[in-house]
Structure 1
């Protein structure tokens, strides 16, 4: 079955037909903040439209990422409970998620990166930029950047339109999911809003059930004041209440649960005239996390805040030269009974030049200077180049990336009265640094097939790892005991990663009401560490990963499949009867039939069709086959 699926994905791209269904070379802003066709950026970018997202058998935005080529989403629980995101073998802290241009990564821990406070109905497109991007985006943009662009903030949408869509579904284990959203636009205003909720009693676990109650609600608007000025506003609420057994420990007594609630507010004012664009962005995020090791234990209560301001100037001097300059400021703080109370200021000016030479060659040097608290300033350079012919783009990029420690790595278990064992934060951590390069190509066949392939290497230094450390060697013993068992956060590891990835996107309309869409790929990676016994997180990425989506529609009938196959380092823990297998293959499917002028549809969805036993985290098994059915509607004019 694995070979059949992979063979179909790779060979289906060579089908021929009449007319393309979807643009395989859309406009993107993620690589350099300048709008450009993806084939003109010099970077490997995967773009999934919101329309495609709505047709897939996925329950949340972070679950969608699991099937984007080159992205590994290590799921700890179903339907958005918690997901660690990895791109090109980076750790879960080394991926930056941004929403309409502003960063979402929480200052407390990278485990919250997948908590994206946006309802799927509001998404215009998801752009995934693979590889080093710290020169533009700063800390965390090591493995890549995930940029969520919403309909309301998309200033390029011009047509008057009204859209309303929703669905409700029920299934096994008390599953009840619902979603609704709408968008309205005229020549003066864009307004979008949406709500999604996923709920289940969950499958049986050790002493508890793997329940979840996850809800996201969001609304955004852009007012076009005149041909030059526009103002955009957004607010979003995200709440997740879920079983978290063995998410953070491998203890047999772990029957944990967790509640994570966040608010996100964002404002943007933008001016554009002739060849000049000025944008001022501000965002504020508040996140509250309550973690219970067991129903009777006192919770770890963490409340983190992130305020940020971003000013950018884009100036086109000619058809051949563009300049981007900007300044990013962030204020972060945490109030915690576990980590204590701390705050941090960061600032970073940056500049990027896009220089074209003739009709084919582009050069893009970028430079950023990152000021992070009391640490020494970091210079972050990057250089990207591309050569584009009619159907082929040759590209290369190289530069430096950085990642600064989060509050968990700095202060974990810092504020408790007594700690007998566990991970201990270290406020003396320096920033992780890496140098990397990549080279590859994008090949387009007509407007229906795109094949991208890249070779990359990344060389890390001072990677942050949790290292088993005797009591005598601990730098701070205030709340520790002499016979305790501890792992201290240290800058110790050197990790080198080498990889090769290939992506295939194919879209085809065979007739007026028959179409096929395929987006798939594979990535092979090998990493080596200077540590004899590196932590699970450093080398937890898949060694080989193939994933993708297939959507086929014929008249009123449509079917969508998502698939993933990965190989990784196996693990076992007999105390909790847990296993990480050497590999696994997973497939989800959704079939629907539309009626009443295709405004309504009934559907059946099956997750884990083959009923595989699998886990991405030791001790956190994912559910087996899970069936649901429902009804959806979509109205547009």
Structure 2
């Protein structure tokens, strides 16, 4: 299988090399990565970052953001069922608890459990791009960005637009989504709504998912701007074997609300952004769908946060600074009622030497009401060797506190551990980026040494799962990727986009011998991702995506997906998608069997 994939990858690269390249590639390298303080173009970043732009979102054979992210190098998406109705995401061998999800820089972490991290209340039709930052990101975004962070970016349009999309598919699947921009004078505003449902591909796997997202902003004058956001998601689904394989009738209903308001001040070399936000997650869980009295949990978690971030340019470079205050609380029939407060301080400095070398270092310090002060230093060094080659290296530390589920859960198959300690890690990476004409390539090695790593374990199948702290865990990995893109031309057949990536991770565990691990030992070992987008004439596009995934203790699998678009950029377009064309028998999370070959088809209406 590996030889076949390698041969196919080389053939695709040969096709790209011999394809027409008389058009100008899109300036992805000049996209500014949306960090909260020091913001740099993609091409000037001295760390491993993947950028998923609008074209990739639209042409990927996917009905949800988790499915799109499954084709990002180094990202491990583990779905329970289709269209991301419940999905976990890990980066560089990390668990779903160790990855931070954000929307426009606003943290979506939930104190109950990381299983809610992907409850993103933003319809896919309204997402402008996704930025995936790999490696320790605590210094950038704060705690819980243990192995990386994923930032979903939306944008406010200055012109009127309307985008409507609908589809139907196997398993009684159907969906409709809408996104519109209606600026009024200086005030810009977007509204997006989506609804998806399905009868399910197996017993008790039906779902209904609704999202509504509103965003508005106004430039008060040349220096001051205000931006607000309100979003709501409702997802209800049959959870056949989602959390316990012995209970096929599990059921869950989750409602997520997000609201934020921010003010930005810009004056010369000084910028300051202040924002407050609130996130609520309501979760009802039943072990037997139609017998709530048998076992039922209700959880309501709230996060209230206020933060200020700024930067100042001087002769010494760019100084970034920030302060955050965050309160997390939960009311739960199972976990009890708890709350905790975090205060964090950010400080960074970017220095450029002789126009070829840049050094970025900083410190994030936080105080948790339960764990006291913790400090996370980090630094990156970049060297622009040539116009085409950039070398970089970085070190950093990260930290994650246990969730309330880790600490207090009580159930027939899972029991929390109130004696858990926070997990900490020290990370190092060294890599290089190559950019030439329509090509981009990257090669990076990383090492992560973790202490007190939290994982759910058990000594036998007769015992419940319980989280414990591992003594020491070391991850070593290599990531390699190549990417090619051109703008559309008048060619009858044109290779528009090509990507190929390979990731290898080796994990060495010390401590707690003779036990079964629920998450850590299912981390990625080998991951090969490929994709090719071909244009036929002016209106037809054919995208082929493939994944080969091997985890530490699970069987490897190969999945092939395809999508065909007709008139995607026109007023009325049509598309058809096929997933798991190889009809592979595979599992991504727990014991939940993923579906075999399945299809969708739909339309897209674009009006301006």
Return the TM-score normalized by structure 2.
Answer: 0.93
Query: Which of residues 418, 430, 434 in structure 2 aligns to 1:439?
Result: 430
**1:577 aligned residue:** none
Q: 1:262 to 1:304 in 2, by over 3 A?
A: same
Aligned to 2:520: 538
Match among 374, 380, 383 for residue 378 of structure 1: 374
Q: Distance in 1 between matches of 2:168 and 2:243?
A: 30
Query: Does residue 465 in structure 1 map to residue 455 in structure 2?
Result: yes
Q: 1:176 to 1:486 in 2, by over 3 A?
A: closer
2:549 aligned partner = 566
Contact in 1 for aligned 2:210/2:233 (Cα 8 Å): yes
Q: Is the 8 A contact 1:10 1:504 kept in 2?
A: no
Counterpart for residue 49 of structure 2: 45
Deviation at 1:177, TM superposition (A): 1.4
Instruction: Give the Cα–Cα distance (whole angstroms) in 2 for the partners of residues 519 and 184 of structure 1.
Output: 36
Distance across 2 between alignment mates of 1:126 and 1:184: 23
2:71 aligned partner:
67
Q: How has the CA–CA distance of structure 1 residues 486 and 591 changed in structure 2, closer, same or farther, with 3 Å as cutoff? A: closer
Q: Select 1:286's aligned residue among 267, 277, 280.
A: 280
What does residue 260 of structure 1 align with?
254
Q: 1:494 to 1:115 in 2, by over 3 A?
A: same
Q: Which residue of 1 aligns with 2:539?
A: 556
Q: Displacement, 1:30? A: 4.3
SS at 2:300 equivalent: strand
Equivalence for 1:573: none
Are the aligned partners of 1:69 and 1:548 in contact in 2 as well (CA < 8 Å)?
Answer: no
2:239 matched to which residue of 1? 244
Aligned partners of 2:14, 2:499: CA distance in 1, in Å? 12
1:429 corresponds to which residue?
Answer: 420
CA shift for structure 1 position 25: 0.5
Q: Distance in 1 between matches of 2:313 and 2:114?
A: 36
Q: Is the 8 A contact 1:400 1:434 kept in 2?
A: yes
TM-fit CA distance, 1:15: 4.4
Matching of residue 507 in structure 1 with residue 485 in structure 2: yes
Select the residue among 337, 340, 355 that pairs with 1:341: 337
Aligned-residue Cα RMSD (Å) equals 2.1
**Equivalents in 2 of 1:363, 1:168: separation in Å?**
48
Contact 2:243 2:590 in 1 (8 A): no
Hey, what's the Cα distance between the residues in 2 that align with 1:56 and 1:229? 38
Counterpart-to-counterpart distance in 2, 1:501 and 1:377: 34
Corresponding residue of 2:143: 139
Q: CA shift at 1:80, angstroms?
A: 1.8
Q: Distance in 1 between matches of 2:314 and 2:16?
A: 40
Kindly indicate whether the alpha-carbon contact (under 8 Å) linking 2:38 and 2:319 is maintained by their aligned counterparts in 1.
no
Conserved 8 A contact 1:352-1:365: yes
1:400-443 CA distance string (max 9 Å, x none): 11111111111111xxxxx6x43322233221111110000110
Q: Give the structure 2 partner of residue 78 of structure 1.
A: 82
Q: Deviations over 1:502-549 (max 9, x none)?
A: 122211136247560234412100101113235121121221011244
The CA deviation at 1:234 is 0.5
* Distance of 1:285 and 1:239 partners within structure 2: 14
SS in 2 for 1:409: helix
* Matched positions, count: 594
Q: State the 1:73 CA deviation.
A: 0.5
- Distance in 2 (CA, whole Å) between partners of 1:217 and 1:522 is 36
Post-superposition offset of 1:397: 0.5
**1:15–1:333: structure 2 CA closer, same or farther, 3 Å change rule?**
farther
Distance 2:176 2:520 in 1: 37
> Quick one: distance in 2 between partners of 1:544 and 1:229?
48
5+ residue gaps, structure 2: none
1:115 aligns with 2:119: yes
CA distance in 2, matches of 1:92, 1:112: 9
* Structure 1 CA distance for aligned equivalents of residues 209 and 471 of structure 2: 36
Partner Cα distance (1:230, 1:565) in 2: 46
| 1:228 paired residue number | 223
The 1:239–1:383 alpha-carbon spacing in structure 2 relative to 1, beyond 3 Å, is: same
Residue of structure 2 equivalent to 1:314: 311
**Which of 32, 54, 61 matches 2:58?**
54
What is the Cα deviation at residue 610 of structure 1? 1.6
Query: 1:124 and 1:109, CA in 2 relative to 1: closer, same or farther beyond 3 A?
Result: same
1:393/1:117 Cα in 2 relative to 1: closer, same or farther (>3 Å)? same
Please tell me whether the aligned partners of residues 121 and 193 of structure 1 are also in contact (alpha carbons under 8 angstroms). no
Separation in 2 of the partners of 1:544 and 1:438?
18
2:445 alignment counterpart: 455
Unmatched 5+ residue regions in structure 1?
414-418, 471-483, 571-579
> Conserved in 2, the CA contact under 8 Å of 1:151 and 1:183?
no
Contact 2:16/2:495, CA 8 A, preserved across alignment? no
User: What is the correspondence of 1:383-422 to structure 2 with a 5 Å cutoff?
Assistant: 383-388=379-384, 389-413=386-410, 421-422=412-413
- 1:219 Cα shift? 1.1
- Give the corresponding residue for 2:505: 525
SS in structure 2 at match of 1:254: coil
2:297 pairs with 291, 295, 300, which one? 300
Structure-2 change in CA distance of 1:80 and 1:488 (3 Å): closer
Maintained 8 Å contact 2:204/2:240:
no
Judged with a 3 Å threshold, the aligned counterparts in structure 2 of structure 1 residues 7 and 338 are, in CA distance, closer, same or farther, namely farther
Cα distance change on mapping 1:11 and 1:182 into 2, 3 Å: farther
Identify if the C-alpha distance between structure 1 residues 293 and 619 changes in structure 2 by more than 3 Å, giving closer, same or farther.
same
Q: Is the 1:32–1:352 Cα contact (8 Å) retained in structure 2?
A: no
Aligned to 1:480: none
- The alpha-carbon deviation at position 228 of structure 1 amounts to 0.7
CA contact (8 A) 1:21 1:509 kept: yes
User: Could you tell me which residue of structure 1 aligns to residue 572 of structure 2?
Assistant: 600
TM-score by length of 1: 0.89
Contact 2:484 2:497 in 1 (8 A): yes
Q: Does 1:588 align with 2:542?
A: no
Q: How does 1:175-194 map to 2 (within 5 A)?
A: 175-185=173-183, 188-194=186-192
> Would the aligned equivalents of 1:20 and 1:507 in 2 still touch at CA under 8 Å?
no
Shift of 1:489: 2.6
2:84, 2:382 → 1: CA distance? Answer: 37
Is the Cα–Cα contact under 8 Å of residues 465 and 534 in structure 1 kept in the other structure? Answer: no
